[in-house]
Chain A
């Protein structure tokens, strides 16, 4: 079995994210990192491999992004992927969800995976939907927000929370599964794995290499357009107490509650 894990480079969690008012796109300058949600997908792939219910021949990290995104792939490899694929092309810049899903579909098709895993959301775009978009392009069954995967008789038995409680769904392979962050606790890479990551194969591909029609991607291939960028409706900032003397803090909380008649 070959598993592809979709990963993304995102602004580091410590970086204040902002929109570029001119392009109306996320300002992606500054420190970047592997999307934290993706580490759960890599860990899920590793656990399937280590679980032994199925032979996993290869785990391939796949990303689409600017030149700098190879660093996210190195991180993915240090967490367990065997090699990585980097789809990068000027023509892809500014792709919306529709265009991104199409492009990722093409690059994944070139790898013919038995299973595509990805994280539930990216830390920056927060769109939650790429897995389901990619699955339709690949014509594979798909589930998102999966919190448990078991390989049973060559199929995946998946659990997730849906509208009415927990659902258990059997999914035949090949499939696209997006995992929730509760599925596992990702391991830390060893120093050796970090050092070795740069030596693992990394294929860089352009749009043409995977048969992407360039009029379907980038800003001109996108089907949505950001018309304006606005500040959120103002909400009056709440009162903040820094806890230094806990007895005093508690007194302040209690009197705050009393003023609002919450301790009746």
Chain B
């Protein structure tokens, strides 16, 4: 039985980790509901080989629908998924975290008059239906959301679903031909995946000193760099400061950046918005320095320091240097 449809984002011949998580989660939930999970792949390049598509079987998808349409944009995928859902009667569409999943899920909501829940951290099967768990109000409460009618759209939070190799065989690959809506052809990718700024490897660092808006300006990162050097670690940044041009994208943590789990994560001038939290909450030790005692980051830091980072960090840098020398 066609139960859950997921979208598998790919780039340069590789599937996105969050998409593989969604495929795994979809397969697990479909089994609990007594059905099957399938995936949709959309692209124009020759990297979408039979072999690559069928490999989603290894994460539990029984079928993969492949459509030729522009890559990296949401609306063509909405057209494809809407058709596959309507033709085959899928009851749920499931997305891993990430920009495109949000946009595609939202588009399907409008197209199919379907209920949607986003930022979902867990999904459970109850009485033959799916219920989505969603944290709200800066994670101060969690709501259980059910769906009225079909299909239901579930958009996961980044890294909510783990990619699990189920050891099952290849998925059946089905080519689908979809006539795109006129409006879906009116956005054109000019350049995709541009890397800006120097290459920084923050994923392997044991210690990260991360800077946010509270640093005040780009020069504020010098404080982070000096402390990181004293600690033997690397420097990371929030999306806000990367977008403001204070620090390179390669160092960005969070929803649209990297996910890290270092031994020590020292957050300087970072408020701790959800989009940032999802990228660093697995750190073993979280230290936060912020002058705002109400900053959300203090709710999930192990050591919170309320104070002026311009006063604290230089002295901390000297003290760390003295200890480690």
A175-B191 Cα distance, complex, nearest whole Å: 19
Residues on the B chain within 8 Å of A163, using CB:
9, 11, 16, 98-100, 256
How distant is A154 from chain B, measured CB to nearest CB, in Å? 12
Q: Look across to chain A and name the residue whose beta carbon is closest to the beta carbon of B19.
A: A163
Asked if B198 is at the interface (CB within 8 A of a chain A CB), the reply is no
Residues on the B chain within 8 Å of A141, using CB:
75, 183-184, 186-187
CB-based contact A170/B256 at 8 Å: no
Q: Select one of B139, B193, B286, B293 contacting A238, CB under 8 A.
A: B286
Q: Which of A47-55, A187-195, A202-210, A243-251 is the contact stretch?
A: A243-251
Q: Which of B23-31, B52-60, B103-111 is the contact stretch?
A: B103-111
Q: Which of B43-51, B160-168, B317-325 is the contact stretch?
A: B317-325
Q: Which of A74-82, A83-91, A109-117, A127-135 is the contact stretch?
A: A127-135
CB-based contact B308/A133 at 8 Å: no
Residues on the A chain within 8 Å of B315, using CB:
246-247, 250
B58-113 with Cβ < 8 A to chain A? 72-75, 78, 98-100, 102-103, 105-107, 109-111, 113
Q: Which of A1-9, A28-36, A60-68, A226-234 is the contact stretch?
A: A226-234
Q: Select one of B143, B192, B306, B324 contacting A226, CB under 8 A.
A: B143
Asked if B170 is at the interface (CB within 8 A of a chain A CB), the reply is no
How distant is B6 from chain A, measured CB to nearest CB, in Å? 16
| Total A-B Cβ pairs within 8 A | 286
Chain A 97-118, CB within 8 Å of chain B: the 1/0 string?
1100110010000000000000
Q: Look across to chain B and name the residue whose beta carbon is closest to the beta carbon of A19.
A: B141
A161-B62 Cα distance, complex, nearest whole Å: 32
Residues on the B chain within 8 Å of A249, using CB:
305, 307, 312
How distant is B100 from chain A, measured CB to nearest CB, in Å? 7
How distant is A11 from chain B, measured CB to nearest CB, in Å? 10
Q: Select one of B75, B99, B110 contacting A137, CB under 8 A.
A: B110
Chain B 227-248, CB within 8 Å of chain A: the 1/0 string?
0000100000001101110000
Interface centre among A128, A135, A216, A223 (most CB of B within 10 A): A223
CB-based contact A126/B119 at 8 Å: yes
Asked if B316 is at the interface (CB within 8 A of a chain A CB), the reply is yes
Residues on the B chain within 8 Å of A232, using CB:
135, 139-142
Residues on the A chain within 8 Å of B311, using CB:
243, 246
Q: Select one of A180, A240, A250, A260 contacting B243, CB under 8 A.
A: A180
CB-based contact A224/B146 at 8 Å: yes
A175-200 with Cβ < 8 A to chain B? 175, 180-182
Interface centre among A134, A136, A171 (most CB of B within 10 A): A136
Q: Look across to chain A and name the residue whose beta carbon is closest to the beta carbon of B191.
A: A168
A246-B152 Cα distance, complex, nearest whole Å: 53
A226-B131 Cα distance, complex, nearest whole Å: 10
Asked if A145 is at the interface (CB within 8 A of a chain B CB), the reply is yes
How distant is B142 from chain A, measured CB to nearest CB, in Å? 5
Residues on the B chain within 8 Å of A181, using CB:
240
Give the interface SS of chain A, mostly helix, strand, loop or mixed.
Answer: mixed
CB-based contact A224/B194 at 8 Å: no
CB-based contact B105/A239 at 8 Å: no
Asked, given contacts A98-B110, A170-B190, whether A225 binds B320 with beta carbons under 8 Å apart, the answer is: no
How many chain A residues touch B (Cβ–Cβ < 8 Å)?
83
Q: Look across to chain A and name the residue whose beta carbon is closest to the beta carbon of B12.
A: A164
CB-based contact A239/B303 at 8 Å: yes
Residues on the A chain within 8 Å of B74, using CB:
132, 142
How distant is A111 from chain B, measured CB to nearest CB, in Å? 18
Q: Look across to chain B and name the residue whose beta carbon is closest to the beta carbon of A225.
A: B146
Asked, given contacts A129-B116, A181-B240, A224-B147, whether A171 binds B141 with beta carbons under 8 Å apart, the answer is: no
CB-based contact B115/A222 at 8 Å: yes
CB-based contact B116/A97 at 8 Å: yes
CB-based contact A136/B110 at 8 Å: yes
B207-240 with Cβ < 8 A to chain A? 207, 231, 239-240
How distant is B69 from chain A, measured CB to nearest CB, in Å? 14
How distant is B256 from chain A, measured CB to nearest CB, in Å? 5
Residues on the B chain within 8 Å of A168, using CB:
189-192, 194
CB-based contact A170/B187 at 8 Å: yes
A239-264 with Cβ < 8 A to chain B? 239-243, 246-247, 249-251, 253-254, 256-258, 260, 262-263
Residues on the A chain within 8 Å of B145, using CB:
224-227
CB-based contact B106/A133 at 8 Å: yes
How distant is A172 from chain B, measured CB to nearest CB, in Å? 4
CB-based contact A129/B148 at 8 Å: no
Residues on the A chain within 8 Å of B249, using CB:
161, 165-166
CB-based contact B186/A171 at 8 Å: yes
A157-B319 Cα distance, complex, nearest whole Å: 49
Asked if B7 is at the interface (CB within 8 A of a chain A CB), the reply is no
* Residues of A that sit less than 8 Å from B by CB: 17-19, 24, 26, 96-98, 101-102, 105, 124, 126-137, 139-145, 147, 157, 160-172, 175, 180-182, 216, 222-232, 235, 237-243, 246-247, 249-251, 253-254, 256-258, 260, 262-263
The 5 closest A-B CB pairs, nearest first, are A243-B307, A182-B243, A223-B115, A132-B106, A136-B110
Jot down 27 A-B pairs with beta carbons below 8 A, ordered by A: A98-B109, A126-B119, A126-B136, A128-B119, A141-B75, A142-B103, A144-B99, A163-B98, A164-B11, A165-B192, A166-B195, A166-B249, A167-B72, A167-B191, A168-B191, A172-B186, A223-B115, A223-B116, A224-B116, A225-B146, A226-B143, A239-B303, A241-B307, A243-B308, A254-B316, A257-B264, A262-B207
